[in-house]
Amino acid sequence: MEDGRLIRAGKYRGDAKAVAYIVAISNSSKAVDLIREKAADPADDVQDLGRVSAALLMALELLPGEFIRADGQRRALRVP
């Protein structure tokens, strides 16, 4: 399995109520696009915060194309 990305969606950079997502896609622009399409509000600022390891994705049992919120809500979503 490849590494994934840590993606943040919020109303503005530095938004204390922003949500972080762990995405099982190694390409940062594809991971950002996925969160824009499937999880973020249309007006949200969505940004890539960096790489997450393949070991973390395996520990979270995420398959390629899935993502979860990093705040502990355990619901994996898969790209159709």
Q: pTM for the full model?
A: 0.87
- Give residue 79's pLDDT band: very low, low, confident or very high (50, 70, 90): low
Strand runs labelled E in 1-80: 4-10, 19-23, 45-52, 66-69, 77-78
- Average pLDDT value over all residues in the chain: 91
CA angle in degrees (0–180, nearest 5) for 69-75-80:
100
Question: Distance between CA atoms of 28 and 67, rounded to whole angstroms?
Answer: 13
Q: What digits encode the pLDDT tens for the residues 24-53?
A: 999 999 999 999 999 999 999 999 999 999
